Chain A
């Protein structure tokens, strides 16, 4: 597959703070790429460098075949960015906003009009096109932001925490819009997030912490390598279960009346259950999640 973004040895510091401390990765064309990390890990700095907003201190970045630092206007024409906070004008309608920002790309009047319509359609906000941006709800604003980023029909769409601060239902709708763009418009989507369930749906995940990449791979690779399956047993008689587990040197953790056993793979649970068959009130086997993988990799829980 074609690599649409390659990053090598990227460095950026603010004074003594090393925001990005030597990272390498690449993004396949047409993929959904998630950049995962706690706050202050360097996600936004990286996205700002890739989108030509910030200059790098060192390293090489190639976007769509063009090196950053050269011909930046050509890069800018091929990317769309959704910032964490809205950048549209509250006193202008959604459509006016799109027309103004669309005019930056040297399109003819007809093409621009088509692009505005297409962007409104894809994001599903035709019905609020004439409303002032400032009067929209959080989810509507976010979709208008995405429409803005689509106005130049970009090859790569950058989204910095696109679903943060939205209620669960709106989050899902915004997320579906993003997925549609990738699947149907074959757009490369590069997003930062701290929602595990979103990272879980990406084609490729890079986890960054303290400016360094700590793990990368597909979601299933990360889960297989960094998280363990879990067996939860609710026994009829606790002491018998404890004695049984101890006699076989099986490590467990007791949470109130539930016993948790970490497994190398889920098949191991069969033996343990068989062995205690008569002493089990209920049990559950859980697959490793991105959450576990993340905690195991970074040593910290994700923070809002």
Chain B
């Protein structure tokens, strides 16, 4: 039952080419900005600190950010089906069928995660191609496995956060607006448009609270390690690029980043489920 609902949701998402495109729009904007404006500037700045492999390193830096943004925007796109079912009154047909509301909601969550994973994996493949074309090399096997793991973790966290936001939305217009805001904001909140170090302290704190920025940190660590040995990169520079986060004077460990993603994900799901079950129509 849930399986066939998931199948339905996936078909509806992938057959709607415009929704697939728009769920990747944020990603296209980042890549466009980087290729056209930011790339050269950042590479030449990096070269002044670390002369070797600066371009490979910075391409990996931006692509790590792109992958973490993709997990949000595509999960969000997939939740569009939930909004559409509510807004277009399609829910009526589910309500008069012998299925439970939790089964329906679970099907939306599972399909959003599947969409997030598929699209992020595709983005990962595309970014490896780009890195290779720009003179870098393809990731090692261990890094590959780690990145896959990070995509799963990041999708879990993003889908939870997006689900909570979407659970308040009732109309397709509102969904469109929310999607564009999420798509734009997420690039800032993960420190991609502008490196974290360039932002005021207050904004830096907001970024550190935003769960997804931690997935960005971890992905950067894994992907940039392929270009340079991060151990020899000055700590200040790593903090500037958001390769490490410093909280209360100490650098956060990978374990803490992962724990933060998991805990915030679980928390968002609990909150969202409370909102959704309160919305039960009578």
Contacts and interface: CB of A to CB of B under 8 A. Distances in A.
Contact of B98 (A96, A104, A148): A104
Contacts of B96: 51-53, 76, 79, 81
Interface residues of B, number: 21
Given A89-B12, A100-B7, A105 B98 contact: yes
B253 to A, nearest CB: 46
Interface residues of A, number: 27
B4 interface: yes
A155 to B, nearest CB: 14
A103 B4 contact: yes
B93 A91 contact: no
B90 A87 contact: yes
A24 interface: no
Contacts of B92: 53, 83, 87
Interface string B1-35: 10111011001100110000000000000000000
B95 interface: yes
Given A89-B8, A96-B11, A104 B99 contact: yes
A227 to B, nearest CB: 36
Contact of B1 (A79, A87, A106): A106
B250 interface: no
Interface string A80-99: 01010101110110001001
B76 to A, nearest CB: 19
A183 interface: no
B89 A76 contact: no
B89 A85 contact: yes
A151 B281 CA distance: 26
Nearest to A99: B4
Contacts of A76: 96-98
A96 B99 CA distance: 18
A244 interface: no
A189 to B, nearest CB: 16
Interface in A45-103: 51-55, 73-74, 76-77, 79, 81, 83, 85, 87-89, 91-92, 96, 99-101, 103
B278 interface: no
Contacts of A88: 93
B282 interface: yes
Contact of A106 (B5, B8, B89, B98): B98
A52 B95 CA distance: 8
Contacts of A99: 4
A104 B96 CA distance: 10
A92 B89 contact: no
A51 B11 CA distance: 29
A83 to B, nearest CB: 6
A99 B4 CA distance: 8
A91 B11 contact: yes
Contacts of A100: 4-5, 7-8
A105 B1 CA distance: 8
Contacts of B11: 91-92, 96
B110 to A, nearest CB: 15
A15 B99 CA distance: 29
Contacts of B3: 103
A77 B90 contact: no
B3, B94, B99 pick with most chain A CB within 10 angstroms: B99
Nearest to B97: A104
Contacts of A148: 93
B119 to A, nearest CB: 18
Interface of B: 1, 3-5, 7-8, 11-12, 15-16, 89-90, 92-99, 282
Given A52-B96, A81-B96, A106-B98, 4 more contacts: A51-B96, A91-B15, A100-B4, A100-B7
Interface of A: 51-55, 73-74, 76-77, 79, 81, 83, 85, 87-89, 91-92, 96, 99-101, 103-106, 148
11 contacts: A52-B95, A53-B95, A74-B98, A77-B98, A87-B90, A87-B93, A89-B12, A91-B11, A101-B97, A103-B1, A104-B94
